[in-house]
Structure 1
Amino acid sequence: METGTRDRVKQAVSEHGPITAAELAARLGLTPAAVRRHLDCLADAGLLEEHEKAVTGARRRGRPARAYVLTEAGHADLREDYDVLAADVLRFLAEHAGPGAVTAYAQQRAREVAQRLARDVEAAGDDVALRTEALATGLRREGYAASTRPVATGTPLAGVQLCQGHCPVRDVAAQFPQLCEAEAEMFSDLLGVHVQRLASLAHGDHVCTTFIPLPTVPRAPGSSTTSPDTAERDPR
């Protein structure tokens, strides 16, 4: 029972981190004390670390809330793929057939993933936010810890952040960025809008963050806007 709950906590951190104990408790239906016990155990095991949580609204006084993200060991603990073998195969392909062959493979892989996700995304209709949520649901089936967050709601820069707290090809993509590039292109094709990658696990960030713009809305007099580049991303 304890192990199962701890796995749920770890998975929730991978999907929604940086996340506080209070937010985890509300999301998982547990008491804050129980969540903190599991967080402490995971941190002691080297699977989690504290991280300052970005503030999206007015900054409050006092010490910032303790938030948590996965460590390198935490990512490895979730991983069930064959990173070393995959990287060796792609390296062999690049050496014997050229870098273009790796790009072709990355694009083919992205097309295959898109085919598995397309039905769910299309079923969500024309609303970009709903399509993005359907995309996140499909990515979770593919082994990604994916979630969505609204950004700059009600402004001309309104959009959705697609966050991937775990990627099954993270370590391979660090060596072959063509995988990330093909994935971003796939997101654009599925959603029908140009997306912007703000952060990447493969580049050392704590989460892959992709900004998806929503249709422009009229701006209210005196309202302010938030640029996608200043929206909540992996804090440093």
Structure 2
Amino acid sequence: MPDVLSVRDLRAGYAGTTVLDGVDFHLPAGAVVALLGRNGVGKSTFVHAVMGMLRPSSGSIRVDGRELAGAAAHTVARSGVAIVPQGRRVFAPLTVEENLRIATPGSRRTGRARRTGSSPGAWTPERVYELMPRLAERRTHRGDQLSGGEQQMLAIGRALLRNPRLLLLDEPSDGLAPTVVDLIAEVLEGLRGEGIAAVLVEQDLHLAFRLADEVAVMRKGRIVHRSSTAEFRGDRERAHGLLGVG
């Protein structure tokens, strides 16, 4: 299966400080890889660099074979990449419907022979409402009137309206109660078969193991381990050594 994302020797950081120190990473089409690691090892920095929100100092980032290292975020987005950022970042004064409508024109402009797999077609607000009925019930509510879980659903829906080939999920469980995390997991599981590959940055290991085909572990700005989720879960000693968990 061809890689949607291929990263080679990626280096990036902030204010002269190196955070990513030679990251190599690949993501096959339609696969979900959980990017794990302790706080501060560079996981969100990696996502920001891939999305074009942070300019790398060196290295290669290819999406569907196209070199995008150093490209602006809007160029990356038009190449089929979407992000669900940490902290949701929905437009608080706008309604659910208005938040989704803002995202829709871009998907129409870039509109997508790029879709693969069993997808019935491009994402629209109505398809988002079908996937997440709770948003349909809240469509006239402002962003600041939604619960944390509803805001996360809205952030996911907004990303889907870009009709992405690659979805970057940065801590989707952050700040959510366990019952709400289960709802988010059900939403993300509902995307199976859509042909969307995903990088999942996540501290909640239960969620990561539930969703991911493979696990990659980052330490000090490098990928130091990668294996199938089943293999990783079956080796408690290695998991403890890499993540400090049993």
What's the TM-score once normalised by structure 2's chain length? 0.28
Question: More strand per residue: 1 or 2?
Answer: 2
For the pair shown, the structure with the greater C-alpha radius of gyration is 1
What's the TM-score once normalised by structure 1's chain length? 0.28
Kindly indicate whether structure 1 or structure 2 has the higher relative contact order, using CA contacts under 8 Å at least 6 residues apart: 2
